Structure 1
Amino acid sequence: MAEVDSHFHVWELDRFDYPWPNSDVAAIFKTISYPDLTAALESAGVKNAVFVQCLNNNIEEAKWVLNSGHPAIKGVVAGVNLTDHKVLSEQLDELCQYDKFVGVRHILDMEDSYDWIVRQDVIDGLRLVAARGKSFDFLSRPHHLHHVATLARAVPELRIVIDHIAKPLLAKSLDVSPDWKKNMLEAGSCPNVYCKVSGLVTEVDPDKHATPWTTETFQDHVEVVLKAFGPERCMIGSDWPVLRLTGTNYKDVNRLHKSLFPSLSESQKVKVCGGNAAKFYQLKNLD
């Protein structure tokens, strides 16, 4: 099974109005587009990747990526309007004309309420997503994580993946939070929920990105994720180019992620590094 990077971004600052990245993150507050993506993927020999939205309710961003023709992009996760169901149906119908449209995401940090994701209108919108066979990337922080199981049980036909292991507060402590662990295990008890081992390095020191890290920095948290989801529902993702904030590069983070599963068999590592992402996103024509 081919390796798959389950989570990357590109952006062109003169094409769309991005609320983030902004001037607070100068290292990535610049256009980062397809030639940069090609160089990053080639540095680690990765030939298959999934783009994940940066903009809420903006299918033009997804269409821009879908129309790029970049050979490594095997799937696109879009930002759609989950609460206006007439608009949502129109957006989904348009996106479903593209074979590489695989799912949707919503950046919850843009909402005032921590409970936005379990509002009834949002749940009903996600039912429309599930009816078209598409998935949902749950961009959770620890305070949202308890909602994952609630949503998964409300819409059991929806495939859900937790992005970035729900961004545990590594800057506060490398010890596993009991609440994070409890909610992660609860999410893992739902068979329609997967988890991305991604976005780790930027959480160690999210303000200054000056604190060093090693494989051991993340091992305890990854062990919880493996216990919750098993090797059949975990996948790795680079979160490139956000990882650049730490001064590291794509190849080193790719190597880090592959080192986090020493207890797995080779066949299980193949699933985590590509097979599970391909299954979850229903990717086609992998290289």
Structure 2
Amino acid sequence: VKPDEVLLVVDAMTGQEAANLTRTFHDQIGITGAILTKLDGDTRGGAALSVRQISGQPIKFVGVGEKVEALQPFYPDRMASRILGMGDVLTLVEKAQEEVDLAEAEKMQEKILSAKFDFTDFLKQTRLLKNMGSLGGIMKMLPGMGKLSSEQLEQGEVQLKRAEAMINSMTLEERRDPDLLSGSPSRRRRIAKGSGYGLDDVSKLVSDFQKMRSLMQQMGQGQFPGMGMPGMGGMFGEPAMGGGGPKPGWRGYPGGGAPPKKKKKEKKKKGFGSL
């Protein structure tokens, strides 16, 4: 047998152990390249450096899932960004282009800017996120998100599943009009029973969703009332950032600019006044 290629499949989760594996196989067999797998997990892919350094052969493909289409070409510049914790935005954009319909995306943008984004839309976005891969794999592609721990990512997965279960227990009318739930404890109580979660969980979901929708509308209008999504941080295993309101000192918001000077009250003069 005279193969054109001898490719070594390396588990990216093995870390520096990949160096010993590569050295042994290359000395005994002689490889012409490698495939790095399990890059959809929380690893940065540092094993790629070991494989290249030890064998001198290129990495040709990477695996980011269990399906056939999850086998993708290897791009050195993207891997370098990932190892340095700068994310892999290009790959994320390519994934989004494969899953997202442009016409549907434009409609969604209009709904967000007009504050008509509802629970049905949220459910669609959640399922779209699942089609793109695991939450951990997607978050690792975003710059600055490489510091999230496995526990935080797992908590985020749990929160998304919990939200999906509660939304599935809503009627179509309630999904389209979240305000119905804000003013009806009996509706929230029914959803809690149907989803298997507590009344407080449902109330928090509704409250967080309303805050998020309001914030999206303000950001679409060019206003930035604080940083982060108030109340939605708990969806991803972290406390919310920004506190959920305009920060004092922001121009255009109450409290912005210097406080008005108080006029001094004139003291009444005793006696005959000015002569």
Do they superpose with TM above 0.5? no
Give TM-score scaled by structure 2 length: 0.26
Q: Which of structures 1 and 2 has the larger relative contact order (alpha carbons within 8 angstroms, sep 6+)?
A: 1
- Higher-Rg member (1/2): 2
Higher strand share: 1
